[in-house]
Structure 1
Amino acid sequence: MKKMKITKIICSLLMVALFAACSQKSSDKAEEKTDLTQYVNPFIGTAFTGHTFPGATYPLGMIQAGPETGNYSWEYCAGYVYEDSVINGFSQTRLNGTGCVDLGDLLVQPFAGRKREDLSSRFDKASEKAAPGYYSVELTDNNVGVQVSATPHVAFYNYAFAKGDTANVLVDFQHGLVWTKDRIHTHVLDNHVNFESDRVISGYTRRREWVERIYYFTIEFDKPFVAKEELVKRDPREKAPRYILSFDLQDGEELNMKVALSSTSVESAKANAAAEAAGWDFQAVRDAASGEWNRYLSKITIEGSEDDKTNFYTSLYHLFIQPNNIADINGKHGEATAAGSLQSASGKYYSTLSQWDTFRAAFPLYTVISPEIIPDLVNSMLDYSDEKGHLPIWALWGHETYTMIANHSVPMIADAYLKGFEGFDAERAYAAIKKSITQSTHPKSDWEMYDHYGYYPYDLVKTESVSRTMECGIDDYSAALMAEKLGKTEDRDFFMKRADYYKNVFDPETGAMRPKDSKGNWLTPFDPYQLAHADSNVGGHYTEGNALQYTWHVMQDIPGLIEWMGGKEKAGQYLDSLFYTTQQTTGTLSDVTGLIGQYAHGNEPSHHVAYIYAYLDRPAEVQKLIRRICTDFYKAKPDGLIGNDDCGQMSAWYVFSAMGFYPLNPVSGEFVLGAPQIPSAVIPLENGKEFRMEAKNLSEENLFVEKIEWNGQYYDKKTLSYKDLMAGGTLVFYMTGKQP
């Protein structure tokens, strides 16, 4: 009996060991599957007009370190174009997908051997690799292999120089991304460089391009430089030096370099480096960045083809390159004043939100998949308002650019409040909203005129008069909803009345939103195909678009717009003419791309328009258009984006639409149902549940939706609510090739 017992125990132990081994193998496989960074291609959008970059960055971090291949033009807003064959150096900060130029701070360029006048280098394209948090390349002219990774505040470089040659690094403090070649000599306003030792350099640079700002830096090497040479200034107006540092490396020895940044002080830059990258283990930094990127990418798990996964996860990657937390690890941010630097209560201060773009889909997507960052985003906007006197319009590194129109911080904050987010003071938030859209505190606020006429007259507002009227409507509507929930009835009525001002510029004769002067007369002659831009060289009454595109910018009241146009049939005729006209635009604009008729997917004002067909009881039109846009305008290759990614908005449109729904009215708490482009998606929720989307029978031919089920029940609504989605459940689309 004893023997039998022992045998049973041994068998049990063997079974446990076997099960553990199988579990470990299964776990290892699961871990392999969770490495979603393999599906991210940072080169998507680096050609054509995407304006993305392939450098190393950390989710929501201050650093975007990577190669620069060009400068001095709109094409180089991100400092890199995929087709280029030469790398000029590596800068530490970058904008993702914008249409304006700035950053590109503190250029470094390694090279082996003797100094040359031009230290730019051709590179081996086959050696160029990029992944979330990592970039590497072989500089063939400079005989050095470069690897780059990043923490939130630190760029980490590893250099492998050719054997037998002197190892050198150019450090260019005068550099920055600028609009024109002459600006490279004048954009630096002040600079100080301190060689603390033969391993450490520190200082600051104040510069002005899009905004005026200051950054503090510390540069540290893991080996001493044995010589330094200050280069002759290229122009007497330059305020910052350029140095060549030389190192005595043994054959096979590599050089590591860290560049840490701060918006407050050198001491803070050092503290950031000490906290985030204290040692010299490059691989550890790379692994940490990759791990954090995996955490963000795993906020949605999908099934689909390799291209589906690449498009989807690259879109998620673009979504989290920004906004950028520019606070130091101690929570301080901004330039020091007599009272000291500004202090964030949460330790985070986000800037670079690109509100004109991202309020449409990117911010609503954050509320679904990253609710933990929403209170910090709202508090950052409120802190900014306390400092500047209004909510941010388009802030960069905590400074206002006054780029674009209206103030779309308003719908973001209102959206967060209406969805029940806590962690910020609702009364403080509403006060900032009301002040920002009723008090003329900055150059683009003319609220007295807006209230007097009920629109912006084109003879008094020389550019963008119609677009400004249209875009202010969504802000007013958002303020009205927040006022209503707070019990501020008078304010609610005031802002809701304003939200209808779009009706004052709708011309029933042309079926378009048309410029009107201060006497109530329509602009004559009027060409609804004429493209307009705030740029003084173009001008006009619309923002990066024309009348046909902006006619539909009534995100807050699509049913009201349809009624104002004369009902569903008439509105449908107008919408059909937008998508199916064969007439070309009058003039061209680099921002107006991705045309289907006059619909321009390459620019944000069009992003919600295809979904309007759902309100015309024509869902098949939505489904056809979504398939066409996803197929034609989102491709897994460098020129795969049809327009500027605009800090993740272009990508957010794809993420939502691929899952089968979209926030047409971004403050309504409703998602309009479209047609999924991937077989399934799962979003793990904070409450421990999950939202699941399934597209049954999805194929190239089966692009239409036959029926929809929600939690196993037939679902015939046009929208799915945020509340229902966040409670968890399963949304099933049954796909067919037959148009309903």
Structure 2
Amino acid sequence: MAAILGTLFAACSLLSGAPAHSPIEYVNPMVGSDGHGHTFPGPTVPFGMVQLSPDTRTGTWDGSSGYHYSDKKILGFSHTHLSGTGVGCLGDIMLMPTVGDGPTESRFEHKNEIAKPGYYKVFLDDPKVTVELTATARAGLHKYTFPKSDQAHVFIDLIHGISNDPRRMTIKVEGKNRISGSRTSSGWGGERTVYFVAEFSKPFDSVTIEKDGNKESDLTEASGRIRAWANFSTGNQESVLVKVGISSTSVEGAAKNLHTEIPAWDFAGVRKSAEKQWNDALGAITVQSKDPSVTRTFYSNAYLCYIAPSLFNDVDGSYYGMDHKVHQNAKFNNYTTFSLWDTYRALHPLLTITQPKRVPDLTRSLISEYGENGLKTTPIWPLCGNETWCMIGYHTAPVIVDAYFKGLLGPDAETAYQALKATAMGDHNGLTSYRELGYVASQGGAQAASKTVEYSVDDWCIATMAKALGHTEDAKMFFKRSSNYRNLFDRTSMFIRGRKANGDWRAPFDTLGQVGDEYTEACAWQYAFAAQHDIPGIIDLYGGDAKFSARMDEMFANDAKIHTGIPDITGMIGQYAQGNEQCHHQAYLYDFSGQPWKTQMRVRQVMSAFYDDKADGQIGNNDCGQMSAWYVFSAVGFYPVNPANGVYVLGSPAVDHAQFNLANGKKFVVDAVGNSAKNIYIQSATLNGVKMNRDWITHKELLAGGTLRLVMGPNPNIKWGSKPADRPAATMPKGFDYAPLPEPATNKPVVLSLPIRVVCGEDDPVGNFVPDPNMLEGSTNRAQVRVDTSAPNSAPARVYASERYGDDFTYRFPVPKDRTYTVRLHFAEIFDGNAGMRVEKISINGKVVLPNFDIFAIAGMNKAVVREFKDIKPNADGTITIRIQAADGSPDQNAKISGIEIF
């Protein structure tokens, strides 16, 4: 009967044009918590500082958010989480209700678990406690319903964290209702401190503090490695509430946040407020579909678009800056958690439509971070007052430029432009060779081909802003630089590929390999069409519309296996990879070559194959909302291929009706007439009643309100949108001409001279350590961390802040055969924050020299580990080979190494 009533309500909704329920009723916060989605199910408010959620594990790649749907036990409920990232961190200030002297963790079942926007509930099987959670922007509210017991506890674990190393903890018991303290940790996000104040609705009988492994019942204040138990006697089904405020600045800031946002013990009221905030955010776009699962999938993905970036300032405007100082600016809200490599593509353009009042503060935050970080670079992946240096590009540029042209830029335009220009003119991450040679020189790693393409995208953005501000010479320079990607286009292989400083192609070339080496989490196929700012330019390189479309067809048809163990490359249709972001615009590119019906087919294929409303409804990492933003845009019928030119390219809507409820009071409607799982092709279109053959609309047209009517059918209309006049316009200035560098010849591998000193994860030398110009295997990573190099024979610290990683890869060094050698290997754990997470097996010339090698177990986080092996004889072919493998059973299947010396 319930199913029948639900169908009737849905039918009435479609007939009346009004939603049957509020938007939050269609959201499943579990979406992405299974598989590789890396989301969390607990309550938060849109863009909140607090993400209060259950933790079921503290390590592993699939535990990056702290929760995985496959797990059977809950460790506790912590207050900070990352949504959908490929790296774990946070998990601060964990609470857990317990009874008796049993374990602090508990079994649970999903049938006893409820997750809704702003609310979470679960029954813990072991202590027989019902847990309910809700949140405000800066505070979390717990409700624990205990059985009758004189040994009821609220366990507070300050050691607990997600893939980070606890450094310093403090705790202070204040009276009978309040506990305060701090947790300082170091991990992927660098060193950071979270301050907290926890207040209890019921006075505790006592507090037991464990300091450095020793329990002491008479302590009221302590520092060290801290855990604590607030002890109670409870009646049957008695509820104890705990409200927890957090801050990046001080305990006083945490208290102010708590008392401002949760002044009373009103769980229902806090939950209602959170739900209203979610309904308001999700109501920016209302959709209808005859298929209820499509509606649920849409709103569940829209929900995931509004978790990050996250608020970082206290209620009085105080925040912890990237200069590691406390700042106070009550004029704007400061935000952190910008996964810019991912989110510049679709999430930030979406926010300019659905969250325009928030965009000025987002852009102010980015430019403030530039002023504070002392690095002369705009943020790359800022997290909690630190620069993680995660991923490539300077993708603050498209975010700033898009906001500027849409009238939503928060900081002064000239100030913002100068920050972008200074970044692009810097000397970091291969920019020196990019400026001098017209491409990032390939020197054996660090994703030079990908950097060249993505720097070109960013330079186009800067060029358009320079032109608008009257910086004519700058505009010419940056437009020229924005075509640098063409210097890596090999007309023989028809791929973007690595090129050395002397102009030669890097060889050997493997179109399915070099993942993480020449290409960022991708192979040559995924970067073949990645210059999203200049699609007409790419079409030119391929020799025109027909050849370009044929190459696109080949990408979707080529199902050869990529040579990598990187789990990010998922959601494959041939070599198209929806599970990672480089491909997100690529299904839309047929619109540029006169075959929009192929875009319509591929977009619908991706939506139906890789998205649904279940826990495993994300094909790859959600990446702070980018994976979901792709779906939100695509489901309503268009996508920002170029994320900074205010043009949306049409696809094929999954929903039947979408209405944008714009901040200016106007409505923009997309009606897909006759839409169904079979009727996926646009037959005709009108905009505000006027026939429309072009396959794109503008941001200005959307903001003006109106109706885009798409008549859908089961067969392609190959005439609609196929003429040159129907396609998105060229983005280069009129008359712009760029002559790429001459084609190079392929050269032989480089032999390094003795003594050999190789930095494994860099594309630039570090002291007397150089990149290996011949290495094609594995992937590279760098982090902005301070590494302890006190170990004997340590390399420069920056060597250890980089790494080459993979499940199985081998270095091969040609050396004279007439002598023996010393081999010195350098390691540091800069990613996994637990012993036993990454266990390696290292072999030299086929002999295992380091079995079950666990860097963290030896030294902890961010500390150099050096191992030396003497009297190594070369192989018969005159090489020394060093093989790095993940040991059998290692949870993290990415073995790693930072540096190699042979002398």
Partner of 1:152: 137
Partner of 2:710: 733
Mapping of residues 142-221 of structure 1, within 5 Å: 142-164=127-149, 166-178=151-163, 187-210=165-188, 211-221=190-200
Higher helix share: 1
Separation in structure 2 between the aligned mates of residue 586 and residue 483 of structure 1, nearest angstrom = 41
Cα deviations across residues 128-175 of structure 1 (Å, max 9, x unaligned)?
000001100000111100000000011100000112453111110111
Separation in structure 2 between the aligned mates of residue 215 and residue 551 of structure 1, nearest angstrom = 43
CA-CA distance at 1:422 after TM superposition: 4.9
The yes-or-no answer on 1:108 pairing with 2:95 is yes
The yes-or-no answer on 1:224 pairing with 2:203 is yes
Q: TM-score, normalised by structure 2?
A: 0.75
Partner of 1:602: 579
CA contact (8 A) 1:264 1:335 kept: no
Cα deviations across residues 514-558 of structure 1 (Å, max 9, x unaligned)?
11111111122211111512xxxxxx1110000111111111100
Separation in structure 2 between the aligned mates of residue 659 and residue 108 of structure 1, nearest angstrom = 41
Separation in structure 2 between the aligned mates of residue 682 and residue 32 of structure 1, nearest angstrom = 11
CA contact (8 A) 2:47 2:310 kept: yes
Partner of 1:320: 306
Instruction: Identify which of 449, 463, 473 aligns with 1:480.
Output: 463
Partner of 1:469: 452
Partner of 1:510: 493
Cα deviations across residues 328-378 of structure 1 (Å, max 9, x unaligned)?
01111006999x721235330011121100000000000111111111111
CA contact (8 A) 1:110 1:159 kept: yes
The yes-or-no answer on 1:620 pairing with 2:597 is yes
Counterpart AA for 1:331: G
Instruction: Identify which of 440, 462, 466 aligns with 1:456.
Output: 440
Separation in structure 2 between the aligned mates of residue 641 and residue 356 of structure 1, nearest angstrom = 18
Separation in structure 2 between the aligned mates of residue 31 and residue 164 of structure 1, nearest angstrom = 50
Partner of 2:242: 257
Q: Any idea what SS the aligned residue of 2:531 has? A: coil
CA-CA distance at 1:402 after TM superposition: 0.4
Counterpart AA for 2:269: A
CA contact (8 A) 1:691 1:730 kept: yes
Instruction: Identify which of 393, 404, 408 aligns with 1:421.
Output: 408
Counterpart AA for 2:480: K
Separation in structure 2 between the aligned mates of residue 383 and residue 575 of structure 1, nearest angstrom = 41
The yes-or-no answer on 1:523 pairing with 2:506 is yes
Partner of 1:401: 388
Partner of 1:74: 61
Q: TM-score, normalised by structure 1?
A: 0.91
Counterpart AA for 2:348: F
Cα deviations across residues 461-486 of structure 1 (Å, max 9, x unaligned)?
62201001111011100000000000
Mind listing any 5+ residue stretches in structure 1 that lack a counterpart? 1-25, 534-539
Greater mean deviation of Cα atoms: 250-259 or 549-558: 250-259
Instruction: Identify which of 371, 374, 382 aligns with 2:359.
Output: 374
CA contact (8 A) 1:263 1:335 kept: no
Separation in structure 2 between the aligned mates of residue 684 and residue 580 of structure 1, nearest angstrom = 39
Partner of 1:709: 686
The yes-or-no answer on 1:341 pairing with 2:348 is no
Partner of 1:4: none
CA contact (8 A) 2:183 2:195 kept: yes
Separation in structure 2 between the aligned mates of residue 336 and residue 565 of structure 1, nearest angstrom = 44
Partner of 2:418: 431
Q: Any idea what SS the aligned residue of 1:147 has? A: strand
Cα deviations across residues 264-290 of structure 1 (Å, max 9, x unaligned)?
111111111111001111111111101
Instruction: Identify which of 396, 406, 410 aligns with 2:397.
Output: 410
CA-CA distance at 1:580 after TM superposition: 0.8
Separation in structure 2 between the aligned mates of residue 514 and residue 335 of structure 1, nearest angstrom = 39
Instruction: Identify which of 107, 110, 125 aligns with 1:140.
Output: 125
Separation in structure 2 between the aligned mates of residue 475 and residue 232 of structure 1, nearest angstrom = 50
CA-CA distance at 1:193 after TM superposition: 1.0
Separation in structure 1 between the aligned mates of residue 492 and residue 234 of structure 2, nearest angstrom = 77
Gap change, CA 1:127 and 1:31, over 3 Å in 2: farther
Separation in structure 1 between the aligned mates of residue 505 and residue 313 of structure 2, nearest angstrom = 49
Partner of 2:292: 306
CA contact (8 A) 1:214 1:335 kept: no
Counterpart AA for 2:642: N
Separation in structure 1 between the aligned mates of residue 250 and residue 321 of structure 2, nearest angstrom = 8
Counterpart AA for 1:329: V
Partner of 1:7: none
Q: Any idea what SS the aligned residue of 1:169 has? A: strand
CA contact (8 A) 1:414 1:478 kept: yes
Q: Percent identity, aligned pairs only? A: 39
Gap change, CA 1:286 and 1:66, over 3 Å in 2: same
Partner of 1:129: 114
Higher strand share: 2
Counterpart AA for 2:363: V
Gap change, CA 1:235 and 1:227, over 3 Å in 2: closer
Partner of 2:800: none
CA contact (8 A) 1:146 1:159 kept: yes
Counterpart AA for 1:587: T
Separation in structure 2 between the aligned mates of residue 250 and residue 583 of structure 1, nearest angstrom = 63
Separation in structure 2 between the aligned mates of residue 335 and residue 661 of structure 1, nearest angstrom = 37
Partner of 1:276: 261
Q: CA RMSD in A?
A: 1.9
Instruction: Identify which of 427, 431, 447 aligns with 2:431.
Output: 447
Partner of 2:23: 36
CA contact (8 A) 2:555 2:574 kept: yes
CA-CA distance at 1:566 after TM superposition: 1.2
CA-CA distance at 1:729 after TM superposition: 1.0
CA contact (8 A) 1:369 1:685 kept: yes
Separation in structure 1 between the aligned mates of residue 319 and residue 673 of structure 2, nearest angstrom = 49
CA contact (8 A) 2:322 2:385 kept: no
Gap change, CA 1:514 and 1:30, over 3 Å in 2: closer
CA contact (8 A) 2:318 2:330 kept: no
Greater mean deviation of Cα atoms: 163-172 or 101-110: 163-172
Separation in structure 1 between the aligned mates of residue 214 and residue 345 of structure 2, nearest angstrom = 44
Separation in structure 2 between the aligned mates of residue 203 and residue 732 of structure 1, nearest angstrom = 57
Separation in structure 1 between the aligned mates of residue 247 and residue 694 of structure 2, nearest angstrom = 50
Q: Any idea what SS the aligned residue of 1:244 has? A: strand
Mind listing any 5+ residue stretches in structure 2 that lack a counterpart? 1-12, 216-222, 718-903
Q: Any idea what SS the aligned residue of 1:254 has? A: strand
Separation in structure 1 between the aligned mates of residue 231 and residue 40 of structure 2, nearest angstrom = 29
Greater mean deviation of Cα atoms: 576-585 or 73-82: 576-585
Provide the aligned length of Structure 1 versus Structure 2: 692
CA contact (8 A) 1:531 1:544 kept: no
Q: Any idea what SS the aligned residue of 2:279 has? A: helix
Mapping of residues 532-681 of structure 1, within 5 Å: 532-533=515-516, 540-681=517-658
CA-CA distance at 1:626 after TM superposition: 0.7
Separation in structure 1 between the aligned mates of residue 310 and residue 18 of structure 2, nearest angstrom = 29
Instruction: Identify which of 687, 709, 733 aligns with 2:664.
Output: 687
Separation in structure 1 between the aligned mates of residue 404 and residue 531 of structure 2, nearest angstrom = 22
Separation in structure 1 between the aligned mates of residue 110 and residue 617 of structure 2, nearest angstrom = 19
The yes-or-no answer on 1:391 pairing with 2:382 is no
Separation in structure 1 between the aligned mates of residue 323 and residue 683 of structure 2, nearest angstrom = 62
